[in-house]
C-alpha cells in the first residue's frame, strides 16, 4: 500500500476513534450529570420517596416530581437553536417542601385559587376549610395536594402518570377523591396536562398547575418585556382580599385588555383600583372560548424568540405577574435568585370562589360524575 495513503487512512481512523471516544464520554458525562441531579434532588417526605421523572423528545425536555405532582423544569428550543429552561423551581425536593407555599410548578387543590372565608355550603351543609391566605383559603389550604407525595408511574419516555387519593375531610373537603394527573411531552413541543378525578361524596374540585414561567429563561430578572395576549373580554374583579365580587368587568379601555399582544409591563403600574388590590396582575380572566379545548392565551419573548400558547378546556385563566416575589432566600435552580416580577403564571381554572358565587360556572363534582379536563402549553419559535 502506498505509504501516503496508509498514513492518511491511519490518521482518519485515529481521528474517528478520538471523536467517537469524545462523543461517548460526553454522553456518559451527560448521563452521569442527570443521575447526579436526580440523586441530589431525591428525598424522603412524609415517609414516601420523592423522585424526578424525565420526559424527552428530539428537541425538548421536562422534569416532573411526585412531590405535589410538580413541573420542575421545561427546556424548549430558542431562536439561537439551544435550549432554554422556562420554568422556575428548586434543585432539591427538600427545598420545595420547606417552601411549599411558593407553589412552584405544583398541582394545586383540591381547590385552585381562593375560597372566601374558607367556607362553602353544599347540599345544605357548611364546610370549613383551612385558612392560609388571611381569612380565605388558597389553593386547597395549608394541607393541599401540592404538599402531598403522589404515586408515580413513568409510562414511557414522554409520559408520566401521577395519582393521589385524598381522604374524606382532608383540608376540610368532603368526599374520598381519587385524582390522576398525566404529563405528556409531545413531538411538536406541547406539554399536555390531563386531569381526571372521581369522588364518593358530593364535593367541589378545581385543579390547576401553578408553574411560574419566564420565557427569557428562569433566573432572568423580568417578564415585563414579554408580549401577552389573553382571549378574554372580561375579568372577575376582586375585593380587598382578592375574592371576586360576583360581578364581571369589561376589559375595554382598562389595564386588563390583552386581546391584542401587549407587553406585560406596559400598564402594570396603572392608577387602577383593581391593579392596586392585586399589586399588579392577579386576576381571573373570563375566556371567550366555548366548550372544548381551545386557545386561551399567548406569550412571546423577544429576547429568546420563544412563544408559548396556552390551550385549555377550562372557562377561566388566572394571570399572575409575580407581584409577591421578593428575591433572596430561598435561591432557585442553579443558584439563581428569583426576584420581583421575574415570572408569570397562567393558571387555567374554574373561577375563584365559585362555590359561593351562583353566577359562576359550577365546580361541584358528584359521585355519578367524572372530573376531566386538559390544558396544553405549546412552544414554538418566532
The answer to whether residues 280 and 208 touch, using CB atoms and an 8 Å cutoff, is: no
- Residue 181 counted as domain residue: yes
- Residue 10 counted as domain residue: no
pLDDT at 15: 37
Active site residue 283: no
Backbone angles phi, psi at 109, to 5 degrees: 155, 180
Banded model confidence at residue 36, pLDDT cuts 50, 70, 90: low
Task: Give the Cβ contact number of residue 273 at 10 Å.
Answer: 11
Banded model confidence at residue 16, pLDDT cuts 50, 70, 90: very low
What is the pTM for the complete model shown? 0.90
Q: Which of 139, 210, 283, 350 is catalytic?
A: 210
- Residue 247 counted as domain residue: yes
Which comes out higher in pLDDT, residue 27 or 374? 374
Domain that holds residue 371: 70-381
- Residue 23 counted as domain residue: no
Residue 4 has pLDDT above 50, yes or no: no
Active site residue 210: yes
157: CATH: 2.70.98.10
Residues of the chain by 3-state class (helix, strand, coil), percent to 5: 20, 40, 45
The answer to whether residues 292 and 353 touch, using CB atoms and an 8 Å cutoff, is: no
- Residue 184 counted as domain residue: yes
Banded model confidence at residue 37, pLDDT cuts 50, 70, 90: low
- Residue 18 counted as domain residue: no
Find the helix or strand (DSSP H, E) in which 39 lies: helix 3-41
Q: Which of 192, 218, 314, 347 is catalytic?
A: 347
How confident is the model over 213-252, as pLDDT tens digits? Answer: 999 999 999 999 999 999 999 999 999 999 999 999 999 9
CA pair distance 45, 66, nearest whole angstrom: 10
Residue 17 has pLDDT above 50, yes or no: no
How confident is the model over 96-152, as pLDDT tens digits? Answer: 999 999 999 999 999 999 999 999 999 999 999 999 999 999 999 999 999 999 999
pLDDT at 290: 86
Banded model confidence at residue 39, pLDDT cuts 50, 70, 90: confident
- Residue 103 counted as domain residue: yes
- Residue 304 counted as domain residue: yes
Q: How many domains does the chain contain in total?
A: 1
The answer to whether residues 204 and 110 touch, using CB atoms and an 8 Å cutoff, is: yes
Summarize the confidence of residues 335-339 as an average pLDDT.
94
Assigned C-alpha cell, 142 = 395549608
pLDDT at 342: 97
Amino acid at each position: 500500500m502506498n505509504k501516503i495513503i496508509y498514513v492518511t487512512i491511519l490518521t482518519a481512523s485515529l481521528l474517528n476513534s478520538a471523536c467517537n471516544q469524545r462523543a461517548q464520554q460526553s454522553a456518559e458525562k451527560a448521563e452521569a450529570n442527570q443521575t447526579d441531579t436526580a440523586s441530589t434532588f431525591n428525598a424522603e417526605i412524609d415517609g414516601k420517596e420523592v423522585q424526578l421523572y424525565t420526559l424527552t423528545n428530539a428537541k425538548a425536555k421536562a422534569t416532573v416530581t411526585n412531590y405535589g405532582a410538580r413541573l420542575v423544569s421545561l427546556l424548549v428550543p430558542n431562536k439561537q437553536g439551544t435550549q432554554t429552561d422556562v420554568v422556575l423551581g428548586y434543585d432539591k425536593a427538600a427545598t420545595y417542601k420547606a417552601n411549599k407555599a411558593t407553589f412552584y410548578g405544583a398541582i394545586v387543590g383540591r381547590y385552585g385559587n381562593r375560597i372566601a372565608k374558607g367556607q362553602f355550603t353544599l347540599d345544605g351543609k357548611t364546610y370549613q376549610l383551612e385558612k392560609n391566605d388571611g381569612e380565605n383559603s388558597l389553593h386547597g389550604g395549608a394541607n393541599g395536594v401540592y404538599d402531598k407525595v403522589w404515586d408515580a408511574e413513568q409510562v414511557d419516555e414522554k409520559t408520566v402518570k401521577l395519582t393521589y387519593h385524598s381522604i374524606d375531610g382532608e383540608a376540610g373537603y368532603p368526599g374520598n377523591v381519587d385524582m390522576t394527573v398525566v404529563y405528556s411531552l409531545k413531538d411538536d413541543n406541547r406539554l399536555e396536562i390531563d386531569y381526571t378525578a372521581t369522588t364518593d361524596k358530593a364535593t367541589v374540585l378545581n385543579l390547576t398547575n401553578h408553574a411560574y414561567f419566564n420565557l427569557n429563561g428562569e433566573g432572568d430578572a423580568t417578564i415585563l418585556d414579554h408580549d401577552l395576549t389573553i382571549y378574554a373580554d372580561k375579568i372577575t374583579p376582586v375585593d380587598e382580599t382578592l375574592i371576586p365580587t360576583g360581578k364581571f368587568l369589561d376589559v375595554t379601555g382598562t389595564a386588563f385588555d390583552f386581546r391584542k399582544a401587549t407587553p406585560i409591563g406596559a400598564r402594570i403600574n396603572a392608577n387602577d383600583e383593581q391593579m392596586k388590590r392585586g399589586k399588579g396582575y392577579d386576576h381571573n380572566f373570563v375566556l371567550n372560548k366555548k366548550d372544548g379545548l381551545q386557545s386561551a392565551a399567548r406569550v412571546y419573548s423577544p429576547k429568546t424568540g420563544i412563544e408559548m400558547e396556552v390551550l385549555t378546556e377550562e372557562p377561566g385563566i388566572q394571570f399572575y405577574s409575580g407581584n409577591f416575589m421578593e428575591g433572596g432566600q430561598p435561591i432557585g435552580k442553579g443558584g439563581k435568585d428569583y426576584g420581583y416580577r421575574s415570572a408569570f403564571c397562567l393558571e387555567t381554572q374554574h373561577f375563584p370562589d365559585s362555590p359561593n358565587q351562583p353566577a359562576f360556572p359550577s365546580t361541584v363534582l358528584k359521585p355519578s360524575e367524572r372530573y376531566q379536563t386538559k390544558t396544553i402549553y405549546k412552544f414554538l419559535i418566532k
